[in-house]
Chain A
Amino acid sequence: MASVDDVILETRALSKRFGGLEAVRSVDFRLERGELRAIIGPNGAGKTTFVSMISGRIRPSSGRIIFEGRDITKMKAHDRAGMGIVYTFQIINIFRNLSVYENVSLAVQRRLASGRAGIFRVDEEELHREVDAILKRIGLRDAAEQEAGSLPYGHQRLLDIGLALALNPKLLILDEPMQGLAINEIDEVMRMIRELHRERTILLIEHNMQVVLELAKKITVMDKGSIIAEGTPEEIEGNIEVQKVYLGL
């Protein structure tokens, strides 16, 4: 386990306004290395906006983001991905017209290509080995030549996570990975998330409480753009305010 003060990610007074709407309000958040943290909250709580600012897809209105001790508030999304912050979209986002193999190889290639020469030349042998290893890990080796868009929904989700995995991230942000999956597919994705967690920090946004309670050691609850509670699954389950938000008590 990581030591207590090994903070991988921190946000300070992070806010985002869309016109008159304050989607995220001055959020102070800390994530320790090696954690599997879940963020829950009702629709419109600002969860996706919050993690989108961390991944660089959205610019914050104010506040700071610190990753491994470095202020990355102004850093571009692609540079953050290069640093190890990898985001998977809420809606499955893959290269639908390319083969499964090509999808994964694009991610692996990005990791192998370091420095300038990398964009013109890549060790094809190594690329192939690594792509094959990822395909094996996500169980899509037999579908390698298939067009990604023609895969069953659950397999598309696995491929999506596989793309993130291929980048070997330090911090993996999964935005509602269970959305639209069948029960047996949920089990498969959960198994994979557990396996991924052995090597890296994971930030998980999820609606399915059963999944959250089973996976996360610590849960952050957001409502109306703010963090309203944080704690272990047991603490959160017993929290009056959380019950109010969820059950309208």
Chain B
Amino acid sequence: MHAANKGFGKVLAVHIGVIAGFFILQFIVPPFHAAMLTRIMVLATYAIGYNILLGYTGLMSLGHAMFFATGLYAAGLSVIYYGLPPLEALLLAILLSAVMSAAMGAITLRTSGVFFLIVTMIFSQVFFLTTLYFNVITGGEEGLVLTRYLKPISLGLFSVELTDSAVKYNFALIIFAIAFLFSLWLTRSPVGRVLVAIRENEERAEMLGYNIYKYKLLAFTMSGTISGMAGAAYALAFAYIGSALASILYSINPLLWTLLGGAGTTIGPIIGTGLMIYIIDFTSGITTSYLIVVGVTLMLLVLAFPPGIVGAIRRRWLRWLP
């Protein structure tokens, strides 16, 4: 990795550039697109979390909605029922997501392959049904709106309201930047290298003396925690919590976004999320059977770029991309 070290300036510049790009876009694009970008940044954070497990460790989960929703409900319910200010609610949500994902990882990582896929999905479905069962508290499918309960975020001398769309945008940007830079750090850290080793050849990694289970659990926990952070940001930025966000669709979504953009690339999940959300928005404006169009588009994209969009770019041109 000595050659990569020489190129780190370039890598860092690209990543800072992405964050700066999002920052500048808010002054350029019309309000509608600013709102779209806010949504994309929050959901891209979720995809970044998912990618740590799928792209960098080689584990495919179908149960991440459980962690996204843990963050979502932890933040939303603590705001509604305990009157927690947004940042405190966010921290509580991150903490609970970490505990939840560590516990789930400890159980599900005893399986592998297809069984892992199914076991994560089953636990996630249990979580989803639980949110429906306690609909008196959670609001069930209809959900609950946080707007009335959201306190301003106090920043020392002045305070800002999360209902303000500019505040929303920059709140989402900060959350996104944290996750994005974390994933960059991880790929270059000793832990990240071992995770890639596990993805590439688990047996050999074990015979080199690495405790595979511990590393996978660590990856699972990091992945679940970031997903939970994204869920909390969703609740706070869009002032809404509901069971649909805990459904299996929200386990499949980050998988699609990550695969489309490029699993195992830092930038891929962002491209994938952005593209999918815009494709859905565009096609649903044209036809009610937009999911057919989305499906066909996805198939064509995956056929054209098997390793995902950024994965293909890296393979062909920019081999130094992390």
Contact = CB atoms under 8 A, between A and B. Distances in A.
Interface string B188-221: 0111011011001101111111111001001000
B3 interface: yes
Interface string A101-124: 110011101100100001111101
Interface in B1-16: 1-3, 5
A17 interface: no
Contact of A120 (B2, B190, B200): B190
B209 A121 contact: no
A24 interface: no
A221 B209 CA distance: 29
Contacts of B218: 119
A97 B200 contact: yes
Given A101-B1, A105-B1, A106-B197, A118 B211 contact: no
A101 B190 contact: no
B207 A57 contact: yes
Contacts of B201: 93-96
B interface SS class: helix
A97 B319 CA distance: 13
A181 interface: no
A128 B2 contact: yes
Contacts of A97: 200
Contacts of B212: 78
A119 B211 CA distance: 11
A212 interface: no
Interface in A216-232: none
A107 B208 contact: yes
Given A81-B207, A87-B207, A93-B204, A102 B193 contact: yes
A81 B204 CA distance: 11
Contact of A106 (B2, B189, B205): B205
Contacts of A120: 189-191
Contacts of A95: 197, 200-201, 204
Contact of B207 (A55, A101, A102, A122): A55
B3 A145 contact: yes
Nearest to A112: B190
Contacts of A93: 201, 203-204, 207
Contacts of A77: 206-207
Interface of B: 1-3, 5, 189-191, 193-194, 196-197, 200-201, 203-212, 215, 218
9 contacts: A57-B207, A77-B206, A77-B207, A79-B211, A87-B207, A93-B203, A94-B204, A95-B201, A119-B194
